[in-house]
Amino acid sequence: MRAQPGAGFRYPVPMTGIDPRDESLAAVRAQLCAIPLARQMQIEIAHAGDGRLRLRAPLAPNINDKGSAFGGSLVSLMTLAGWGLATWQLAKAGLPADVYVADSNVRYLAPLYDALEAEAWLEDGQWDDFVATFRQRSRARCRIAARIALPDGGEATVFSGRYVALAGGRAAAPAASMPASSRWSPTMRKPAILLLVLAAMLLALPAHARGARQGRLLEQAQAAFASAVRWSDYEQALQLVDPDWLAANPVTDLELERYRQLRVTSYREGGSIALPDGTVVREVEVGAVNRHTQAERTVRWRETWRWDAAAGRWWQGAGLPDFWDGH
C-alpha cells in the first residue's frame, strides 16, 4: 500500500526568487554543503522565498539502473528541502535550532529522467505561529509538504513530513564578521558559518581533540567556499581567502566585475591532500558560462587551505578560480 501525504496537502505556486543579502539562508546553504550525502548528490538551493524552499540536484549522481532518478535520492532531496525550510524560517527570526524529521509519507508517482528539483512549503498553519511557539517553548513542530515535478509539470514524487525543532542548534548560527582591515571591500557580507566561535573553543582542547575540531572546521570552510563560488557570490568567497594573499594580490572592482559576468554552473570537488607543512590542497573542476555570450568554459583549479592558529580558522590561499588562465 502506497503512503499518502498528510491531510491538508496543497500544491505549491511559483516563488519570487532569492534575496542575496539573506545571511540566514547563506548559513543554511553552508550547513547543507557540509552534509556528505548532500555533497555526493550535488544538491544546491535553487530558489527561496514566499515561505518556500526549492533544492536542485543533477540526475547523473542520482541515477538508478533504469536510467531514472533513484528513489532514495528523491526522498532524500525532499526531506532535506523540508529540513532546510524549517531551519531557515527559525534562522530568519534569530533562533538557531536543531531540526529533525520525525516521520514522513512519500508517494512515487512517475519515473523522472531529468534533474531533480524538490520544492517544500508549510502544509498546515503559519510560519509565524511555528516561530512563536519555538520562541516560547524552545521547541516546535510543523508539517511540511514537498514535491518533485516532472519536466512537463506533472509530479514524480510527493512528500509529507513532520519536523521537530529543538533549541541549541548550530546549523544557522549568526555569521562571523570579516576583519575591518580587508583591502578589497569594506561592505562585503558576513561569512555563512560561525568559524571564529568554534575556534575559540579549540584552544582549550587536548591535541587529539584539536585535530578533530580542526578537521571539522576545514570541512565547513571548504563547504562555505564551494557554496559561495557555486552561487557566483564572489564577494562572499573572498571573505574566506587568506588576508596575506589578498594583501599581495588585491582584488579590484574591475576584476570583480569581470567575475560577475560569469555564472558558475558546476563546482566539483576532488579529494583533499595534506602537505608536510600542514597546508591542505584540494583539486576542483569549475564550470561557468558567460552571461552575455553564453560561452561555456571549464577549468581545473586547486584550493590551498592554511590553518591560522592565532585566528583559530582556515584560510583559502589561492584566491578565486582562474577562468582566464592568468590573462
Q: Which numeric CATH code is attached to 212-316? A: 3.10.450.50
Q: Which residues pair with 300 in a beta bridge?
A: 285
Among residues of the chain, what percentage have pLDDT more than 70? 80
Residue range 7-30: mean pLDDT, rounded: 58
Buried/exposed code over 14-48 (b: 16+ C-beta within 10 A; e: otherwise): ebeebeeebbbbbbbbbbbbbbeebbebbbbbbbb
CA distance 100 to 94: 18
pLDDT of residue 241: 93
Domains in the chain: boundaries: 23-167, 212-316
Single pTM value for the model: 0.51
pLDDT of residue 186: 33
Among residues of the chain, what percentage have pLDDT more than 90? 41
Q: Mean pLDDT across the chain, nearest whole number?
A: 80
Of the listed ranges 82-86, 149-153, 232-236, 250-254, the least confidently predicted one is 232-236
Grid cell digits, residue 180: 575591518
User: What is the bridge-based pairing of β-strands 296-308 and 155-167?
Assistant: unpaired
Give the pLDDT confidence of 146-169 residue by residue, as tens digits: 999 999 889 999 999 999 998 865
pLDDT of residue 188: 33
Domain 23-167 and domain 212-316 have a common topology: no
Give the pLDDT confidence of 66-94 residue by residue, as tens digits: 899 999 999 999 999 999 999 999 999 99
Residue range 304-320: mean pLDDT, rounded: 92
CA distance 23 to 13: 24
Beta-carbon-side half-sphere exposure of residue 176 (alpha carbons within 13 Å)? 17
pLDDT of residue 181: 33
**Higher confidence at residue 292 or residue 115?**
115
pLDDT of residue 79: 95
pLDDT of residue 224: 85
Confidence of residue 268 (pLDDT cuts 50, 70, 90): confident
The amino acid that residue 198 corresponds to is L
Domain 23-167, architecture per CATH: Roll (3.10)
Nearest Cα residue to 78 out of 25, 150, 10, 157: 157
